[in-house]
Chain A
Amino acid sequence: MKLPILALLATALPLAAHADVTVSDPWVRASILASRPAAAYLTLVSDGDDRLLEASTPVAAEVTVHATEVDEAGLSRMNHVPTVELPAAEAVTFAPGAMHLMLTGLSEKLVEGTSFPLTLRFETAGEVTVDVPVLGVGASGPEGGQR
C-alpha cells in the first residue's frame, strides 16, 4: 500500500518541485570601451527540461542572448535568441564563437579582476544569481585562459 504512493511521490517530485539549474564557469572578457557591448559566457545544466527566459545585471542596461552563426558564404552574424531551451541533464554551453549573453548599456567598463552579479531567470527553476569574474581582454575561458 505504501509502495505505490512512494513511487508516485518519487516520480512526481522532480516535476512538481523546482528543477535546479547549475550554472558553472561564468566569465566575461574585460571591456575596452564602456560604450561597447560585452559578452558573458557560462555553462548551464538543468535537472529537468527548462528554459532560460531572461537575464539581468546591475552593471548593464540590458542582457540578451545572441548566437553567432556562420552561413555558407562564411558570413558571421549574431542572431538574437529570445529563449534558450535547456533539455534535462544536457549541458548548454555559452562560449566564444557560439552563444553568448550580450551585455549592453554598461554603466562602466568591466575591469579585469573584478566581478559582478548576473541573475538568470528560468521558466521552472526560477531565478539563479551567479558572480561573474571579469577576465583579461585576451582571455578565452576561465581555465587555461591567458593573463
Chain B
Amino acid sequence: MTEDPRSRRLKSIQLAIWAGSAAILMAVAGALVWRATTPDPAPQVAFVGEADIRSEFTLTDHTGRAVTDADYAGDWQLVFFGFTNCPDICPTTLAYMASVLDELGPRAEDVAPLFITVDPARDTVPVMAEYVAAFHPRLVGLTGTEAQVAEAAENFRTWYERVEDETAPDGYMMAHQGYMYLMRPDGGFEAVFQEQEQPPEELAETILGHIEDEKGAT
C-alpha cells in the first residue's frame, strides 16, 4: 500500500502495451521474412502447421480392442480430444458431434467419430464405454497409456496439460484444446472446427462439402 496502486497498474499496462507491440512487430517481421523466402504462396494457411497434423495413433478403443489409425483408414474422421471428468466443454462438444452425425444421416457411415481422452489414468476402457454410449452409438472412445495418448496428441499437434484444482475430483483438471479435427481418409488434415462456431446442421453440410470435393477431385 506504500506505492500508489494506480501508477503501478499504469506501469504494468505500459509494459503490456510494449510487450504486445514488440510481439506484433516480431510477428509481422517474421511473416515478411517467411513470405520473402517462400517461393510459392502456400494455399491459405489458416492454421499454423496444419500440414503437419496427422491422424496417427496406437490406442485402445472403448470395447478394449487395440487400434491404430490404420483401422480407420479409408474413412473420414472427426476427432476430439477431451476427458470424462470435464463437465462443460467435453459433453457440450460430444453432444454436438452426435447431432452432426444425426444430421449427416446415412452419410455418417463415411465419418468415424473419435473421442480421444487426455486423461487415460481415469478414463479406462469401461469408463469410456459407458461414456461414449450415452452420446451416440457410433461414437468411438479411445484411451491408452500416458505415452500413447501423448504420442497421438503430438501427431495431431494438440496440447493438453494437467491443472491442479482442489475443487475438482481427485484435485485436478485437464486443460485441453476444444477443437474437432476433420481428417481425410488418408489420415491427413482437412479442417478444424469448434462447437460454438456453427450449428450442427451447418457443420454436417460443410463436412459433406469436403467429402464431395474429394470425390470430384478423384
Contact = CB atoms under 8 A, between A and B. Distances in A.
A76 B178 contact: yes
A97 B92 contact: yes
Interface in A58-109: 62, 64, 66, 68, 70, 73-78, 80, 96-97, 100, 102-105
Given A39-B88, A97-B89, A33 B131 contact: yes
Interface in B57-78: none
Nearest to A139: B95
A86 to B, nearest CB: 21
B106 interface: no
A75 B88 contact: no
Contacts of A137: 91, 95, 134-135
Contacts of B161: 75
Nearest to B195: A97
B47 to A, nearest CB: 10
Contact of B178 (A33, A39, A70, A100): A70
Contacts of A62: 167
Nearest to A136: B95
A76 B177 contact: yes
Interface string B117-147: 0000000000100110011000000000000
Interface residues of chain B: helix, strand, loop or mixed (majority): mixed
Interface residues of chain A: helix, strand, loop or mixed (majority): strand
Interface in B161-184: 161, 163, 165, 167-169, 173, 175-179
Given A32-B130, A75-B161, A37 B92 contact: no
A55 B70 CA distance: 48
A4 to B, nearest CB: 37
Nearest to A62: B167
Interface of A: 29, 32-33, 35-39, 62, 64, 66, 68, 70, 73-78, 80, 96-97, 100, 102-105, 137-140, 146
12 contacts: A33-B127, A36-B169, A37-B87, A74-B159, A78-B173, A80-B165, A96-B89, A100-B87, A102-B88, A137-B95, A138-B135, A140-B95
